[in-house]
C-alpha cells in the first residue's frame, strides 16, 4: 500500500483511504451449494464470520448469517435446507479490485450486510463485509497513529 500523507488525509485526496482490497476478510469461509444451512451456520460461528462464499469451481453466491436466521424464523429445517436455496445472487454483489471505499459504500451498502465479492477481472480476490471494513479501518487508524500522521485521540 502506498504511504499515507497528512496532506492527502486532510484534503481528502486520493491517498485518503486504501482501495477495497485493504478491507477484505483475512480468510473467506467457503461452502458448497449442496451443504445444509446447519453446516454452513456452524462454519460461520466457528470462523466468526457474518457470511460465507458459496463455491462450486468458482464463486456462485454468498450466504449470510442473517439469511440463516430468516430461514430458521420462517420454520425452515436447517438440517435439510440446502445453501443454494437461500444464497444471494452474485450478479449485483461484485466489485473490481482497486475500487475506492467511498464508491463501495455508495453502491453496495445493502449488500455489505451479506458480503461483496472483490474480483480482479473474473478472478476471486476476497470478501468484504461491514465487519471486515471496521477491522480494516482499525488497522488503518493504528498505522496512521504509529507513523505520526495524525495525533491519537485523547481517552
Is 2 among the domain residues?
A: no
Residue 31 inside a domain? The answer is yes
Burial 75-96 (b: 16+ CB within 10 A, else e): eeeeeebebeebbbebeebbbe
Give the mean model confidence (pLDDT) for residues 67-75. 92
C-alpha–C-alpha distance, residues 102 and 125, integer Å: 19
- Asked whether residue 74 carries a pLDDT value surpassing 90, the answer given is yes
Q: Please say if the pLDDT value at position 8 is more than 80.
A: no
pLDDT at 49 over 50: yes
Q: What is the DSSP letter of 153?
A: P
Q: Report the mean per-residue pLDDT for the chain.
A: 79
Evaluate whether residue 6 is within a structural domain.
Answer: no
Q: Which three cell numbers stand for residue 129?
A: 463485509
87 or 114, higher pLDDT: 87
Give domain status of residue 49, yes or no: yes
Residue 5 lies in a domain: no
Distance (Å, rounded) from C-alpha 28 to C-alpha 26? 7
The pLDDT score that the predictor gives to residue 6 is: 41
User: Where would I find the beta strands (DSSP E) of the chain?
Assistant: 30-31, 51-55, 59-64, 94-96, 116-120, 123-128
Range of the domain at 83: 19-146
Query: Is residue 114 one of the residues assigned to a domain?
Result: yes
Determine the average pLDDT of the residues in 37-59: 90
Rounded-to-integer distance, Cα 112 and Cα 129, Å: 5
Phi/psi at 24 (nearest 5 deg)?
-70, 145
**pLDDT over 80 at 4, yes or no:** no
**Which among 33, 32, 55 is positioned nearest to 126, based on CA atoms?**
55
What is the CATH number for 63? 3.10.580.10
**pLDDT of 113 above 90:** no
pLDDT at residue 137, as a whole number: 86
Phi, psi of 50 (to 5 degrees): -80, -10
Our count of domains for the chain comes to 1
Q: Which residue has the higher pLDDT, 145 or 64?
A: 64
Q: Is residue 34 part of a domain?
A: yes
Amino acid at each position: 500500500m502506498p504511504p499515507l500523507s497528512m496532506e492527502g488525509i486532510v484534503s481528502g485526496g486520493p491517498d485518503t483511504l486504501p482501495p477495497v482490497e485493504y478491507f477484505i476478510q483475512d480468510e473467506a469461509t467457503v461452502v458448497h451449494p449442496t451443504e445444509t444451512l446447519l453446516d454452513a451456520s456452524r462454519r460461520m460461528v466457528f470462523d466468526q464470520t457474518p457470511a460465507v462464499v458459496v463455491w462450486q469451481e468458482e464463486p456462485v453466491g454468498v450466504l449470510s448469517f442473517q439469511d440463516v436466521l430468516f430461514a430458521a424464523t420462517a420454520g425452515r429445517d436447517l438440517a435439510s435446507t440446502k445453501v443454494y436455496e437461500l444464497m444471494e445472487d452474485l450478479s449485483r454483489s461484485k466489485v473490481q479490485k482497486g475500487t475506492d471505499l467511498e464508491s463501495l459504500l455508495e453502491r453496495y451498502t445493502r449488500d455489505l450486510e451479506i458480503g461483496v465479492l472483490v474480483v480482479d477481472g473474473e478472478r476471486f480476490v476476497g470478501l468484504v463485509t461491514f465487519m471486515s471494513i471496521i477491522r480494516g479501518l482499525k488497522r488503518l487508524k493504528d498505522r496512521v497513529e504509529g507513523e505520526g500522521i495524525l495525533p491519537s485521540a485523547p481517552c
